[in-house]
Amino acid sequence: MARAGRRAFLSGLLAAGMVARPSWADAGSPVFLSAAAVPDGGYLLCGITANFDVVFRIPLPGRGHAAAAHPTRPEAVAFARRPGTFPMVIDCATGQRKATLSAPEGRHFYGHGTFSADGSRLYTTENDFAAGRGRIGIWDAHQGYLRIGETDSGGIGPHDIARLPGSETLVIANGGIDTHPDSGRTKLNIPTMRPNLAYLEESELVETATLPKPWNKNSIRHLAVSATGKVAFGMQWQGDGPAPALIGLHQRGQAPHVVHVEGEDIHAMRGYIGSIAFADQGKTIAATSPRGGILQFFDAHRRTLIRTAQIEDVCGVASHDGGLTATSGTGRILQPSVSNKWSTHHRNLRWDNHLIAV
């Protein structure tokens, strides 16, 4: 049978439900994705199981930042770390590149994206640097990731994006920092920055939560969403002196709240949150600082610090089955929420910024 005829035949069987559709089991059943660097200077997207085994290592054209996992297919979109420009769509079962997204002229990506609940659409955070506004790109995952639209992000410098559970509502971390490629990574508007969380429904802005002074120089960067729709956000301080706070919480219809941490505990984070996650059915928040080499745990209800763990170059953190897993640039994968810190060390891998739950 000719190749084109075979493809059509198999497509017909899939449509009729007579052939099992590929799933994440076909890619080794990873529970996490992470970008990594290897000693020879190369870069990878890796799949990690619940037992910390690395079940695939797929080459990337440059350093990765985060990824988006398709909700049903063994397919991931690997995003470049700036100043890289690629988001690359990968079949994680075969390792084949399926598509590479290109931002419209005058735009660049911010390294994060998320899928709709049914996986038909991908949403990407982007900078319209001529206008100094954030945009959300919309891509059709059923048509080879064709760009089918875009909408305003509700602010400046959208970095992370997530979908609220059980809905198609998107929450966007508008960091508030204006940049332009002609100025490299120079931050152009620190005195006037206004970070916010923006909520979109059907591409329409339905709510914003803006940080008041004295937190307006706290760039909202990364998000975690609980099963009840509560949003935790990690910030990066752009002001002078010590950061007033670095962790916040928001529930739709309410004002945002910051988690107050005192003295050495806030200083230890070096003004920088790398990743954030919920655990324990939303009761606990974990936040990492690779600059401080520290992971902090917070009571999500009382908004208080519970404890601190020292982990060199820790950044990635995500939850699985209620527990937490963290990764570091030294190659460690560990579960710091249990007393024995069950861990493994992949000496030939340096984990990058984010650990993404599949």
What 8-state DSSP symbol labels residue 31? S
pTM: 0.92
pLDDT of residue 179: 76
CA distance 334 to 328: 9
Question: Could you tell me which of 205, 189, 191, 199 has the C-alpha nearest to residue 230?
Answer: 199
Q: What is the Cα–Cα distance from 296 to 184, expressed in whole angstroms?
A: 32
Res. 83: pLDDT tops 70 = no
pLDDT tens figures, 167-179: 999 999 999 988 7
pLDDT in tens, 286-306: 999 999 999 999 999 999 999
Q: What is the spatial distance between Cα 131 and Cα 259, in angstroms, rounded to a whole number?
A: 33
CA separation (Å) from 265 to 44, 179, 262, 310, 329? 34, 31, 6, 12, 22
Does residue 265 contact residue 247 with C-beta atoms inside 8 Å?
no
Work out the widest C-alpha separation in the chain, in whole angstroms: 71
Q: How many Å apart are CA 309 and CA 159, to the nearest integer?
A: 26
Contact at 8 Å (CB) between 183 and 226?
no
Q: Would you list the DSSP string of 67-87?
A: EEE-SSSSEEEEEEPTT---E
DSSP 8-state symbol, 20 = P
**Quick check: 286 and 274 in contact, CB under 8 A?**
no
Q: What amino acid occupies position 153?
A: S
CB atoms within 10 A of CB 180: 14
The architecture CATH gives domain 224-358: 7 Propeller (2.130)
Nearest to 242 by CA among 205, 217, 276: 217
Encoded tokens for 36: 């990594």
Degrees, nearest 5: CA angle 272-273-277: 175
Grade residue 15 by pLDDT with cuts at 50, 70 and 90. low
Q: How many CB atoms lie within 10 A of CB 147?
A: 16
pLDDT for 10 equals 47
Mean pLDDT within 244-251: 95
Helix, strand, coil share (%) of the chain residues, nearest 5: 10, 45, 45
**pLDDT tens, residue by residue, 190-227:** 878 999 999 999 999 999 999 888 888 999 999 999 99
State residue 288 phi and psi, 5-degree precision.
-110, 150
